[in-house]
Structure 1
């Protein structure tokens, strides 16, 4: 077999595989939507679809952001979300939302969303908002007022805190129906890693670590 013939037969085996890759987005578009069938559980490929015959207008509607929970200690902020687990209509659409109400002195602590970029819009009040670049370890912070937007790139640790004397309210949208969230305080102190180990890896006093574990629900 000549080299040209060998290359030709290699292409014959590769082309069908490439065709599947190219066609898969189009195949996904053959279904207009996929309301999450929450009782059937999440999977690595996402939630299975609710049978379209059972879908109603209510599946595309959610009122959970009309109000939010009372400010919670120790951050003095109330949060409500419209992720796929509470709003099945966003399943598979690459979008979701959340609302944060920060009382005076309230803080949204340092956290990150491993699966989504966040676009934050200020509905009321004045707040500081910033993120820390993972590669440069540089902080980007802005003072935001009513009507302002700030984008927080996927996976970057970020925060907000109220700068005023009245409640500050922000609405965030995300580039995933399930953006995920990890809060630094709970990552460090809401676990069962022994306090002496946390003290070593954070260079914090062990007694302070124990106090913080008690505050954030950790043990050991």
Structure 2
């Protein structure tokens, strides 16, 4: 009888044991080393640096973050934030956040977003309008792309004070992986690898989409530009191999 009850308790506890996130803290908040608690005031809990517009070049993609690195009051709070600004034709390249889900809210659209289900090799894309939200589950490859001719803006909330960002283009083409490995993994030739390994600085804004853009994905979102779609296909293939 005791063993049966114990087994039941373990089974009921399994869903909770599977949860992952920032560890709980034993105090209401954490003061970084070297800070004097007697001098604490409202400034510690205030952050004023969340701006995502590059005044020198407003046409490019820019992101500013409020994580524990920029805003130490977030230490142990399991939340963080980011502001994103997309010039026409700019993209936030495929990337993952290994420690947090992301909830993106569009304040000035439209904005094409998408994520890849690596278990199925399937792209889920959607064109978001102003006021729409989209969730990117933790650890899943995703991107945002402004295919319009006006600036798009969004805010992202994360379920971690330090969500982390792993950019696939950077990891694949700027980390020193041998070209032979990239050729075989992506099923491309050396010339293609050479092109992809070129400077990953933001490209010039793309022109507005033409009438002969690729078909709309089956889930209702607009399709990415051809070059972006080709890169996504390479990334998806690499994940599945």
TM-score (ref. length: structure 1): 0.73
Selected match of 2:44 from 56, 59, 76: 59
Residue 33 (1) aligns with residue 18 (2): no
Deviation per CA, 1:104-125, whole angstroms, max 9, x where unpaired?
1011111110100000000112
Q: Which residue of 1 aligns with 2:189?
A: 205
Alpha-carbon distance change, 67 to 138 in structure 1, aligned in 2, over 3 angstroms: closer
Q: CA deviation at 1:66?
A: 3.1
| Aligned positions, number | 180
Deviation per CA, 1:36-72, whole angstroms, max 9, x where unpaired?
44x8xxxxxxxxxx45334332121111113433698
Q: Which residue of 1 aligns with 2:19?
A: none
Alpha-carbon distance change, 203 to 51 in structure 1, aligned in 2, over 3 angstroms: farther
Alpha-carbon distance change, 71 to 204 in structure 1, aligned in 2, over 3 angstroms: farther
In the TM superposition, what are the counterparts of 1:35-114 in structure 2 within 5 Å?
35-37=31-33, 50-69=35-54, 76-114=60-98
Supply the RMSD in Å over aligned alpha carbons.
2.6
Q: Which runs of 4 or more aligned residues in structure 1 lie more than 6 Å from their structure 2 counterparts after TM superposition? A: none
Alpha-carbon distance change, 178 to 70 in structure 1, aligned in 2, over 3 angstroms: farther
- Segments of structure 1 that go 5 or more residues without pairing to the other structure are 8-27, 40-49
Q: CA deviation at 1:76?
A: 3.4
Deviation per CA, 1:108-151, whole angstroms, max 9, x where unpaired?
11111010000000011201111112333322221111111111
- Segments of structure 2 that go 5 or more residues without pairing to the other structure are 4-23, 202-241
Deviation per CA, 1:11-30, whole angstroms, max 9, x where unpaired?
xxxxxxxxxxxxxxxxx665
Q: Which residue of 2 aligns with 1:195?
A: 179
Aligned mates of 2:121, 2:195 — CA distance in 1: 28
Choose between structure 1 and 2 for higher RCO, CA contacts under 8 A separated by at least 6 residues: 2
Based on CA coordinates, which of the two structures has the bigger radius of gyration?
1
TM-score (ref. length: structure 2): 0.67
